[in-house]
Amino acid sequence: MRTLFEPGFFASAPVHVALAIGAVTAIVSAVVGVFTVIRSQSFAGHALTDVATTGGSGAFYLGISPLLGFIGGGVIGAGAMDLVGVQRVRSRDMATGVVLGSASGLAALFLYLDTTQSATTGATQQILFGSIFTVDPSTIPLVVILSVVTLLAIGLIYRPLLISSFSAELARARGINARGIGLVFMIAMAVAVGLSSIAVGSILSTALLIGPAATSVRLVTHVRSAVIVASVIGVVTAWLGILFAYDSYYWMPSTQGLPVSFFIVALIFLSYLASGLPVVHRTIEWLRGSFGRSPSRTTSLSSAAT
């Protein structure tokens, strides 16, 4: 135990905040992420972090609440992507790209104005890379409330979202407004991504959104179990990453530890690579066999490869 947990890990207040924020964002990102991966919207999910960051740097410049900037930026970005045509598979890629490119340009301007007109240093790095250890505890309640709202929104549109993600024809036959559902999902994704960008930085935001979800989709066939597995992977990697980052202050020869985002992303990446190994699949088959689960009657993930 001593060698695993360096002194003071359990007593440190920033660590408590980081563990709480890490768990909340990991779960919301994982739930939204499973649908993002199934719908092949990873690019949009990632682009929204950058768009949210633009909103954050704009809010920083205008002196309004950064959280408002992050979420506002993301929601506007999601709306713009929908206008350019993110709902059609053919133009999805380009629509996302055009919005992302415009947002990058604006971010360049805002960050330039931030750094030249105010004397605050570290703005660029803080906004781009964020640190879970420097989260302001006063933002936690708001982060939790918005996370719950996002989860409720996903829960509310769960069936139609699931159907329209798997088959456009089936959705049409059932009278589902696929574009409306798609837009609601994009906005939910924007809020989730904006929250995680401000809480854990834009790198971790994408990693927690896509990584655990892509891993779980390779491991299990039910959407519901994928959501649970992704949440577990997200929380475990986030907590382990926080632990390693804390410990790394004692490992490194320099006084600087390694950033927490590095550890969390590395763990997520490794778990994705591991999920492709035949050994892991055989173990899951064996587990399934010994617990006697019958094959699914609901939509199975393997049928949604496209």
With a CB cutoff of 8 Å and minimum separation 6, the contacts of 215 are 229, 230, 233, 268, 271, 272, 275
Helix (H) or strand (E) run with residue 71 in it: helix 66-84
Tell whether residue 35 is a contact of another protein (CB under 8 A).
no
Amino acid residing at 19 = L
Binding characters for another protein, 187-206, by CB under 8 A (x = yes) = ----------------xx-x
Is residue 153 at the binding interface for another protein, with CB under 8 A as the rule? no
Q: Is 162 in the site for another protein (CB under 8 A)?
A: no
By CB under 8 A, tell whether 254 contacts another protein: yes
12 lies in the site for another protein, by CB under 8 A: no
The reply on whether position 62 binds another protein by CB under 8 A is no
Contacts 24+ apart (CB under 8 A), 226-234: 226/34, 226/301, 227/30, 227/31, 227/34, 230/30, 230/31, 230/33, 230/34, 231/26, 231/27, 231/30, 231/31, 233/30, 233/268, 233/271, 234/26, 234/27, 234/29, 234/30, 234/208
- The values of phi and psi at residue 167, to 5°, are -150, 115
Count interface residues toward another protein (CB under 8 A): 60
Phi/psi at 300 (nearest 5 deg)? -100, 145
Instruction: Give burial (CB, 10 Å; 0-12/13-18/19+) of 31.
Output: buried
Residue 259 makes contact with another protein by CB under 8 A: yes
Examine residue 147 and tell whether it contacts another protein (CB under 8 A): no
Question: Which stretch, 16-24, 101-109, 151-159, 176-184, contacts another protein (CB under 8 A)?
Answer: 101-109
Q: Quick one: which of 65, 102, 139, 221 contacts another protein (CB under 8 A)?
A: 102
Please list the residues that pair with 300 across neighbouring strands.
222
Answer for which of 9, 133, 239, 269 binds another protein (CB under 8 A) is 269
Stretch that binds another protein, among 13-21, 66-74, 171-179, 264-272 (CB under 8 A): 264-272
Closest by CA to 25, choosing from 158, 179, 198, 186, is 198
Secondary structure E strands in 109-182: none
The correct pick among 117, 256, 290, 298 for binding another protein (CB under 8 A) is 256
Q: Is 221 in the site for another protein (CB under 8 A)?
A: no
Rounded to a whole number of angstroms, the minimum distance from the CB of residue 132 to another protein is 12
Q: Does 185 bind another protein (CB under 8 A)?
A: no
Interface contacts to another protein, rule CB under 8 A: 37, 40-43, 45-47, 50, 90, 93-94, 96-98, 100-102, 104-109, 111-112, 115, 121-125, 128-129, 203-204, 206-207, 209-211, 213-214, 217-218, 252, 254, 256-259, 261-262, 264-266, 268-269, 272, 276
